Amino acid sequence: MADAALIGIDLGGTNIKAGLLAASGRLLERWSVPTEADRGYRHVVGRLTDLVATIQRAAGRGTQPTGIGIGVPGPLSHRRGIIFGAPNLPGWVNVPLRDDLSKATGLPVSLENDANAAAFGEFVAGAGRGCTCMVLLTLGTGIGGGVVIDNLLVRGVFDSAGEVGHMIAVLDGRPCPCGQKGCLERYSSANAIAERVVEAVADGAESLLAQRIRRGDEINSGDVARACRDGCPTAKRIWAEACNHLAAACINLQHLLNPQRIVFSGGLINAGDQLLSPLREAFARLNWRVTNDFPELVFATLAEDAGLIGAAALAKEQCA
């Protein structure tokens, strides 16, 4: 499979995104269809199978796909090809997606955690190009992550490495749906930042967003970023705390893994320098001076394509 075209799929709770990638790794064409996850596992496998058939029909003679890489929200086992459970895919408990999809399409399938797939996508074709060690942090609803060391994706013994968002930022801190307390994603994800401002206002803190929050309007991290720029003391405090926790996590990752680049993706990166500048300042303030081995802190460049490009690239690694 090393020199053949591949299909990359990014399976989400709302949409299935797919791409046909040439042997060179170039994305030739992309597709997106609704997942219809509420209709159950079998139905979604049917939709995936139909989509693969559509791609095969569209592919030219020289670009017939010979394998499929699929990124799925975990937890899952890459080695066994089983999804243990996915929050946005109701009823998907211990489902053997790799073998079911392989049987239905007649093609080999490689199953990967979606955050790992996105990390590998950025590594081979995006912000990680040209380096050998990279960490990706996706700052969105939660915080996802993926680690590439010496050109290889790090999966760990139970395929659960790279869960950067569930590293502890505050011992016994804010409860997390994962069962722990004080996870990084409960402070530094886009959702957590907005949630913490809403909580502070409920506790009587002064904020430029107070009126909207009391009216019941939904507040997002973009609103908080704007309120910071307008001088809101509560927004500024919570934003600074989020950046400090994130910087501490990145410095810990630096000492553990010595990556060349730490790449950020997800909704929070829309804040641009408002996110990167305090991270860089915290690095300058907190990091050691023993050696000059700072990673570059950069934004992802592939946006929504990272997952499907990475899934295909990992399928290539797997099946070559």
The answer to whether residue 153 forms part of the interface with Zn ion (CB under 5 A) is no
Residue 163: CB minimum distance to Zn ion, A: 8
CA separation for the pair 320, 312 (Å, rounded): 12
Q: How many binding residues for Zn ion (CB under 5 A)? A: 5
Q: Are 43 and 290 in contact (CB under 8 A)?
A: no
Angle ∠(160,30,143) on CA atoms, nearest 5: 30
The answer to whether residue 196 forms part of the interface with Zn ion (CB under 5 A) is no
Q: List, in order, residues 6 or more apart from 277 with CB less than 8 Å away.
A: none
Q: At what angle do helices 233-257 and 190-202 cross, to 10 degrees?
A: 140
Helix spans in 149-272 (H)? 185-188, 190-202, 210-214, 221-229, 233-257
The answer to whether residue 168 forms part of the interface with Zn ion (CB under 5 A) is no
The answer to whether residue 164 forms part of the interface with Zn ion (CB under 5 A) is no
Name residue, tokens 């929200």. 73
Per DSSP, the three-state class of 67 is strand
Residue 177: CB minimum distance to Zn ion, A: 7
Nearer to Zn ion, 176 or 192 (CB): 176
Nearer to Zn ion, 59 or 178 (CB): 178
The answer to whether residue 170 forms part of the interface with Zn ion (CB under 5 A) is no
Nearer to Zn ion, 181 or 280 (CB): 181
The answer to whether residue 245 forms part of the interface with Zn ion (CB under 5 A) is no
The answer to whether residue 275 forms part of the interface with Zn ion (CB under 5 A) is no
Residue 141: CB minimum distance to Zn ion, A: 12
Scanning 107-115, 178-186, 231-239, 276-284 for contacts with Zn ion by CB under 5 A, the matching segment is 178-186
For residue 195, give the nearest of 178, 180, 215, 209 by alpha carbon.
Answer: 209
The answer to whether residue 51 forms part of the interface with Zn ion (CB under 5 A) is no
The answer to whether residue 209 forms part of the interface with Zn ion (CB under 5 A) is no
CA separation for the pair 230, 104 (Å, rounded): 55
The answer to whether residue 15 forms part of the interface with Zn ion (CB under 5 A) is no
Nearer to Zn ion, 60 or 177 (CB): 177
**Binding interface with Zn ion (CB under 5 A):** 166, 176, 178, 180, 183
